[in-house]
Structure 1
Amino acid sequence: MSASCRADDRSLAAPLAPADVIWVDGLKVLAAQFIVWHHFVLYGPVAAAAHEAAPEWAAWLAEHGRLAVQVFLVVGGYLSAQSLQRALSAPVTVGGVAGLVWRRWQRLMKPFAVAMVVTLWAAWLARRWMVDADTPPAPSLAQLWAHALLLQDWLEVPALSVGVWYVAIDLQLYMSLLLWAALAQSWAAWARGGLLLVAVAASLWVWNLDSDWDMAPWYFWASYGLGAWVQRGAGLRSSWQRAVALGLMAVVVVLALDLAWRSRVALAALVALSLWWAAQCRPLRLPLKIKAVLSALATQSYALFLLHYAASLVVSALASRWGLVDAQAAWWLLALSWALSMLAAAWMTRILAQPMVWPWQAPQPVAQQGR
Structure 2
Amino acid sequence: MVGGYVMALSMSRQNWNLRSMRSFVVQRYLRLVIPYLGAIALAVSSYLVARGWLPDSVVGEPVSLPQLLAHLFFLQDILGYEQLSAGLWFVCINFQLGLVYAAGLLLRDTLARDKAPFVGLLGWLLAAFSLFYFNLNEAWDHWWLYFFPYFFMGIVIQRAVHVGRSSREFWFYQLLFVAAMVFEWRWRLLSASVVGFLVFSSLRSGWGQHWPHSRTISWIGNASYSLFLVHFPVLVIVATVWTRMDWTTPAGAVVGLVLAFALSLLTAGLFHRWIERPAGRLGRR
TM over 0.5: yes
Question: Residue 273 of structure 2 corresponds to which residue in structure 1?
Answer: 350
In structure 1, what residue type is equivalent to 2:123? L
In 1, are the aligned partners of 2:35 and 2:279 still within 8 Å (CA)? no
Question: Residue 2 of structure 2 corresponds to which residue in structure 1?
Answer: 75
Query: Alignment partner for residue 228 of structure 2, among 274, 284, 305?
Result: 305
Post-superposition shift, 1:224? 1.0
Separation in 1 of the partners of 2:230 and 2:174? 37
**Structural mapping, 1:1-371, within 5 Å:** 74-86=1-13, 88=14, 90=15, 92-127=16-51, 130-133=53-56, 134-185=58-109, 186=111, 187-188=113-114, 190-237=117-164, 241-282=165-206, 283-286=209-212, 288=213, 290=214, 292-352=215-275, 353-355=277-279
- Residue-by-residue CA offset, 1:88-142 (whole Å, 9 max, x unaligned): 2x3x2212101111111111111111111111111100015x1412222320111
| Greater Rg by CA | 1
Separation in 2 of the partners of 1:243 and 1:285? 22
Give the gaps of 5 or more residues in structure 1.
1-73, 365-371
In 2, are the aligned partners of 1:304 and 1:341 still within 8 Å (CA)? yes
In structure 2, what residue type is equivalent to 1:199? L
In structure 2, what residue type is equivalent to 1:105? Y
Post-superposition shift, 1:284? 2.4
Helix, strand or coil for the counterpart of 1:161? Answer: coil
Separation in 2 of the partners of 1:246 and 1:306? 32
In structure 2, what residue type is equivalent to 1:115? A
In 2, are the aligned partners of 1:161 and 1:309 still within 8 Å (CA)? yes
**269-278 vs 334-343, which moves further:** 269-278
- Residue-by-residue CA offset, 1:288-314 (whole Å, 9 max, x unaligned): 5x1x22211111111111111100111
Separation in 2 of the partners of 1:356 and 1:305? 17
Separation in 2 of the partners of 1:357 and 1:284? 29
Separation in 1 of the partners of 2:51 and 2:6? 40
Separation in 1 of the partners of 2:59 and 2:72? 21
- Identical residues among aligned pairs (%): 27
In 1, are the aligned partners of 2:27 and 2:280 still within 8 Å (CA)? no
Post-superposition shift, 1:233? 2.3
Helix, strand or coil for the counterpart of 1:184? Answer: helix
- Give the ranges of 4+ consecutive aligned residues of structure 1 lying more than 6 Å apart after TM superposition: none
Structure 1 residues 80 and 326, CA gap change in structure 2 (3 angstroms)? same
Helix, strand or coil for the counterpart of 1:324? Answer: coil
Separation in 1 of the partners of 2:145 and 2:62? 32
In structure 2, what residue type is equivalent to 1:293? T
Separation in 2 of the partners of 1:131 and 1:169? 29
Post-superposition shift, 1:215? 0.5
In 1, are the aligned partners of 2:46 and 2:237 still within 8 Å (CA)? yes
In 1, are the aligned partners of 2:97 and 2:144 still within 8 Å (CA)? yes
Helix, strand or coil for the counterpart of 1:162? Answer: coil
Post-superposition shift, 1:357? 7.6
Post-superposition shift, 1:355? 4.4
In 1, are the aligned partners of 2:160 and 2:170 still within 8 Å (CA)? yes
In 1, are the aligned partners of 2:156 and 2:170 still within 8 Å (CA)? no
- The TM-score, its normalising length taken from structure 1, stands at 0.71
In structure 2, what residue type is equivalent to 1:177? Y
Separation in 2 of the partners of 1:199 and 1:233? 19
Separation in 1 of the partners of 2:238 and 2:175? 47
Give the gaps of 5 or more residues in structure 2.
none
In 2, are the aligned partners of 1:236 and 1:242 still within 8 Å (CA)? no
